[in-house]
């Protein structure tokens, strides 16, 4: 620049100012810059430190996919809840409008009393526990500083996490003793509503099995009636039938017979038969699917672990076994004690008032502190 005269510096400065002004006018849109900055951050996170492993790389690369799935699941939660209400309501409508009058006409008083009492008890258990599972918060750790023990710090919430606490990307918060996020509840299953979720699954599965078994004969009759209606609708009454009768020797040659006219069947009868078929197919399908899920959760409860802890304990068990040790779940107090703690049974009468009847009692503990040493004696002598 020192070889340039002062007369040349002024035009160069003008050209530089104009080029800067043009760059300002051609600025890339903000949303593109944000996406580009986010992608650069993801790439940089892959080699952020020496502690980076395959899990960190996987989470970083698929973070947009996880975010999309969480957003869609959060939005569809309300749709799933409405679907459960509609399907359950349709089964109740069929039971009250079709099956109950049929029971009163054909069954003995003892069987009528059984079906009425059991059916209404099962219905109350389903409605109560589903409502409580939806409306009860699973519980979250406090955001302010306190003296509660914690085992880690959530990298998303940036708050201390107590034992058995995990972050839910759909709810966007940490959940105490998180089991999983259930889209059919539009809520997480955690410390304070885990019992409601499991009781709802048991009540609904048992109710579907009850409807499937008790309605089997009605389903067969309705299915046969529908098939008979289709067959008779395809026939034309009054058509002469001579060939088959002559061949088998039942009719002499030249004699003609006619098919019997199809019996009249109304729209109401068709609707009743199709409703029974719909009820049986739906309840049987739900009984198989939900029954399998309920049995799996029962196994987890017997072991004193949640769905998430099942995977964590499996990895930890393999790690300890490779070192020649024996791993034991620190929250497993024995099968019977695990069920007593889970159901909140503290005395003998609670098996009736808290298990077989609807109960809104809270689970033992606050979800922040846990007894981690297994004991061989009964925690609750019931």
Catalytic residues: 182
Please state whether 330 falls in left (phi above 0), alpha (psi between -120 and 50) or beta: alpha
In angstroms, the Cα distances linking 82 to 13, 51, 274, 283 are 68, 45, 23, 18
DSSP at 95: I
CA angle, residues 150, 154, 157, in degrees to nearest 5: 120
Strand partners, 1: none
For residue 52, give both structure tokens: 């980076």
> Which residues does 197 contact at the CB level (< 8 Å), separation at least 6?
129, 133, 179, 182, 185, 189
Distance CA 271, CA 273 (A): 6
Are 57 and 46 contacting, i.e. CB atoms less than 8 angstroms apart? yes
* H/E element, 161: strand 160-161
| Closest by Cα among 212, 209, 219 to 272 | 219
DSSP of 116-139, one letter per residue? HHHHHHHHHHHHHHHHHHHHS---
CA 280 to chain centre: 22
Strand partners, 166: 175
Burial of 4 (0-12, 13-18, 19+ CB in 10 A): exposed
């Amino acid at each position: 620049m020192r070889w340039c005269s002062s007369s040349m510096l002024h035009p160069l400065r003008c050209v530089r100012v104009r080029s800067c002004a043009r760059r300002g006018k051609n600025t890339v849109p903000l949303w593109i810059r944000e996406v580009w900055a986010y992608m650069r951050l993801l790439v940089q996170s892959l080699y952020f430190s020496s502690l980076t492993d395959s899990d960190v790389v996987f989470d970083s690369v698929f973070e947009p996919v996880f975010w999309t799935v969480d957003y869609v699941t959060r939005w569809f939660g309300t749709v799933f809840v409405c679907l459960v209400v509609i399907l359950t309501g349709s089964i109740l409508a069929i039971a009250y409008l079709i099956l109950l009058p049929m029971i009163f006409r054909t069954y003995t008083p003892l069987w009528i009393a059984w079906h009425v009492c059991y059916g209404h008890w099962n219905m109350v258990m389903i409605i109560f526990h589903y409502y409580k599972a939806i409306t009860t918060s699973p519980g979250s750790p406090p955001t302010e500083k306190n003296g509660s023990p914690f085992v880690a710090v959530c990298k998303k919430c940036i708050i201390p996490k107590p034992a058995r606490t995990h972050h839910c990307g759909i709810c966007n918060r940490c959940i105490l003793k998180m089991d999983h996020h259930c889209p059919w509840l539009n809520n997480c299953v955690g410390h304070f509503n885990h019992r409601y979720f499991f009781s709802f699954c048991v009540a609904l599965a048992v109710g579907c099995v009850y409807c499937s078994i008790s309605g089997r004969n009605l389903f067969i009759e309705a299915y046969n009636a529908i098939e008979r209606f289709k067959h008779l609708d395809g026939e034309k009454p009054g058509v002469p039938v001579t060939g088959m009768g002559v061949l088998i020797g039942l009719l002499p040659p030249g004699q003609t017979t006619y098919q019997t006219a199809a019996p009249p069947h109304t729209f109401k009868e068709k609707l009743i038969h199709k409703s029974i078929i719909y009820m049986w197919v739906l309840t049987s399908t739900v009984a198989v699917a939900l029954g399998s899920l309920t049995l799996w959760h029962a196994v987890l409860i017997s072991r004193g672990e949640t769905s998430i802890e099942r995977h964590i304990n499996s990895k930890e068990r393999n790690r300890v076994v490779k070192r020649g040790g024996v791993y034991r779940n620190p929250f497993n107090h024995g099968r019977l004690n695990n069920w007593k703690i889970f159901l909140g049974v503290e005395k003998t009468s609670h098996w009736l008032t808290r298990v077989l009847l609807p109960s809104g009692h809270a689970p033992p503990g606050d979800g922040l502190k846990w007894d981690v040493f297994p004991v061989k004696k009964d925690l609750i002598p019931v």
